[in-house]
Structure 1
Amino acid sequence: MRVTLEEGGPRLHRSPPPRPREDPAVLVGIELAALCRSDLKEVAGTRHGPSQFGHELVGVVRESTTSAFAEGTRVVLDPNVKVERGTGFADHMWAAGPDDLLRHALQPVPHGPAARRLVFAEPIACAQHCLSAIKRQVGGLRGAQVVVLGAGTAGLFIAALAERAGAQVSVCNRSRARMDAARKADLLDVPTLLFGELAGDRADVVVVATSFVTPTVLDEALRLVAPGGLVLLYGGTAPGDRHPGLECDLDQVRRTETVAACTWQGHSLHVAGSYGTTAEDFAAAIGDLTDAASPLRAEALVAAEVDLPGLLGLLRTPDALGPGKIVVHPEPS
């Protein structure tokens, strides 16, 4: 059984996934998947770039025609590596491609930790990549004033990792419901405020981690950043996106992970981007989740659990989704 995204929208198939024509190939039995905001963007047609539908997952290799993976290996997926694959919203998923690409696309994870925790490996790897982008511009984070705009999964992970790196972190969001959900999850111990409640011109770094980098959110980022500070674009952008008075192409900065020196209302600042992941980010994320002394309790963000038919219903009514992460079981509940 699998949920695929097709021209007419999401569709539930009760047949096995088709095997790729090329070799080597690996069949992964899906333990658990998770619904990402980018999946919803794909359904709505508002996400730019190659499809990554059904990419947050943890599973076990059931068949393998490559020496890179033995049967029984537990894996998570790096969707930024270009292999031929099916959707992770399924009971099984095929992946095919050269050995070196498969080895990077399917990242091994230990068997001990619960799937409810390991399914967060990919979003945490993205958050780790974001922190690396910040460090390239400002150096170490210890003692830095960091504000994260957006209290969704991405924003909370970025804030949690920045706090662990020694930064003084605040999280701001536009809606109170999402802030209340963030406090309830108790993933991190930092101030959580609504837009406009934090004093301006004080943050060394402002991370825009909302689903989209909208003019309203960017205005708040520019209000909060200190002269000479950094605005880091993590949320979604579209080709040609610009902001009046800010002389840079926002989408190009984000996707190429470059930095632009800008001026805003007489103050100098830098705008940089974070896009994608690396193998090092996944290694760090898996370490965060499995650290024996202080693991990142990512499963605290799980708000609801559905099966594949239930996922199809959610994809058809995305406006009904509340805050928190939806995890998807491959077998009917």
Structure 2
Amino acid sequence: MSLTVPEVFPASLSEIIPDSLPETMLAAVLYGQEDVRIEQVPVPHAGPGELIVRVSAALTCGTDLKVFRRGYHAKMIHPPALFGHELAGVVAEVGEGVTNFAVGDRVMPINSAPCGECYFCKRAQENLCEDLLFNNGAYAEYFRISARIVAKNTMLVPPHVSLEHAALTEPLACALHGFQDSNPRPGDTVAVIGGGPLGLMIMHVASLAGCKVIAVVKHDAQAAIARALGAAHIVQTTIAEDAVSAVRDLTPDKRGVDIAIEAVALPETWEQAVEMVRNGGLVNFFGGPETGTKVQFDTNRLHYGDLTLKATFHHTPAICRDAFELIAGGKFKAGLFITGHAPLSELNGAFAQLLNRGSQGNQIKTAILPASGLEPAAGKVEALP
């Protein structure tokens, strides 16, 4: 599955944004478990404070894959519904009262925005907002950005940044939050368990921050990209005890790593992380297992090892801006995370490919391009060295 991505901009803005929006558009509608249909639906229009964006690229992600498999999301999606949330595009319509954006602007909306008024928001914990507003519907030709997200969590994309790279901001913000929440220091040794998109992002962020990264992955493809993203060492095994021993063998006196970040969301890898970290170290349970999952820890190890255990969920507007600047600044190797392109009509095939070949680690994210030729990438997709 592939789609040629043009490398030159259209001749004029009218080729991107028509004089008036059409009445209907193609969009992916989730009806239930592995039941997604590409249908004609009404084009949304901008209410007060809102924007309508013509979608240039919408990226597949682990959350959307879970939604596809399960047929719903308890907090965000109840079928039938539009879905998809990692996107960037071009403003096609501006709602009343919006002054910071204009038709033709290249923008990247984050998938949520906090209320700013609840108990958690007032304690600078906006990721735990009691009225966190979510946006869904990225797998479509047009997308409505709600007023709160326009005001708090939508960014202008500079000309030198491709929109499909800008669309990586939301997952990168989650990864950056998890890393920053682990209180790292330059020179720390950080073990990251898991070679999925977010695990790989955490590895890359940690490497860019001057940490020594040990990547704990299963597959050859994951090992290759982890090296390309700055991992100093690769531990590739499916046996938990071997992984713990291999990680400890890479640290002075086998004492363990300073920080262990779990990004798999399985009870056995949560337990592994605790065994990998040194006395006085920190474990971040970044991956969230299913509700009701139980784990077992040696209380002696936790207490006398003086371990810090924590978890990190979602992101904040400030962290989203930090992630966006990391992409715009060019240090973050965005191109390595987009391993395929597909038109909207092939969304089901893209999910099937992620479920199959993705299990071998050679598929990270597919950029769904609802309007072929709408927006070029800034250069070709990067290849592994």
Which category of TM-score, normalised to the shorter sequence, fits these structures? 0.7 to 0.9
Match of 1:56 among 75, 81, 86: 86
Residue 96 (structure 1) shift: 2.7
- The 3-state SS of whatever aligns with 2:205 is helix
2:349 to 291, 294, 313: 313
1:265/1:277 Cα in 2 relative to 1: closer, same or farther (>3 Å)? closer
- Is residue 2:42 matched to residue 1:12? no
Unaligned 5+ segments in structure 1 are: 248-261
Choose which of 28, 31, 36 in structure 1 pairs with 2:61: 36
Q: Is 1:115 equivalent to 2:147 in the alignment?
A: no
Which residue of 166, 170, 175 maps to 2:219?
175
Pairing 1:198–2:247 present: yes
Which residue is equivalent to 1:254?
A: none
> What does residue 230 of structure 2 align with?
188
Letter in 1 for 2:63: S
**In structure 1, C-alpha distance between the alignment counterparts of 2:222 and 2:283, rounded to whole Å:** 22
Q: Judging changes above 3 Å, is the alpha-carbon distance between structure 1 residues 318 and 153 closer, same or farther for their aligned structure 2 residues? A: closer
- 3-state SS, counterpart of residue 213 of structure 2: strand
User: Quick one: which of 88, 91, 112 aligns to 2:141?
Assistant: 91
Distance 2:91 2:335 in 1: 23
Q: Aligned partners of 1:72, 1:267: CA distance in 2, in Å?
A: 56
Q: Could you tell me whether the CA contact under 8 Å between 2:139 and 2:344 is conserved in 1?
A: yes
Match of 1:224 among 261, 268, 276: 276
Q: Within 2, Cα distance between the matches of 1:7 and 1:48?
A: 10
Q: TM-score, normalised by structure 2?
A: 0.72
Count of aligned residue pairs for this structure pair: 306
| Deviation, structure 1 residue 321 | 3.7
CA offset digits 1:133-175 (Å, max 9, x no partner): 112xxxx411211111112221121111112222111111133
Q: What's the Cα RMSD here?
A: 2.6
Match for 2:139: what amino acid?
A: F
* CA distance in structure 1 between the aligned counterparts of 2:274 and 2:297, rounded to whole angstroms: 11
Query: Displacement of 1:46 after TM fit?
Result: 8.7
Looking at CA atoms only, which structure, 1 or 2, has the larger radius of gyration? 2
- Residue of structure 1 equivalent to 2:120: none
Contact kept, 8 Å, 2:51 with 2:94, in 1: the verdict is yes
Specify the alignment match of 1:301 in structure 2: 337
CA pair 193-46 structure 1, distance change in 2 beyond 3 A: farther
Q: TM-score, normalised by structure 1?
A: 0.82
In 2: Cα distance, 1:330 partner to 1:42 partner = 20
Whole-angstrom distance in 2 between the partners of 1:47 and 1:133? 29
SS of the residue 1:284 aligns to: helix
Deviation at 1:263, TM superposition (A): 4.3
- Distance in 2 between residues matched to 1:49 and 1:201, nearest whole Å: 41
Is 1:29–1:61's contact at 8 Å kept on the other side of the alignment? yes
- 5 Å-filtered alignment, 1:64-103, equals 64-65=94-95, 66-68=97-99, 69-81=101-113, 82-83=132-133, 85-97=135-147, 100-103=148-151
Partner residue of 2:28? Answer: 3
Equivalent residue for 2:204?
Answer: 160
Structure-2 change in CA distance of 1:246 and 1:273 (3 Å): farther
Contact 2:267 2:293 in 1 (8 A): no
**CA offsets, 1:266-288, max 9 Å, x none?**
63312111111112112211211
100-109 or 36-45, which deviates more: 100-109
Checking the alignment, whether the CA contact within 8 Å between 2:191 and 2:216 is kept in structure 1 is yes
Question: In structure 2, how many angstroms separate the alpha carbons of the residues matched to 1:265 and 1:299?
Answer: 43
Q: 2:177 aligns with which of 112, 129, 134?
A: 129
Contact 2:261/2:283, CA 8 A, preserved across alignment:
yes
Does the CA contact (< 8 Å) of 1:117 and 1:298 recur in 2? yes
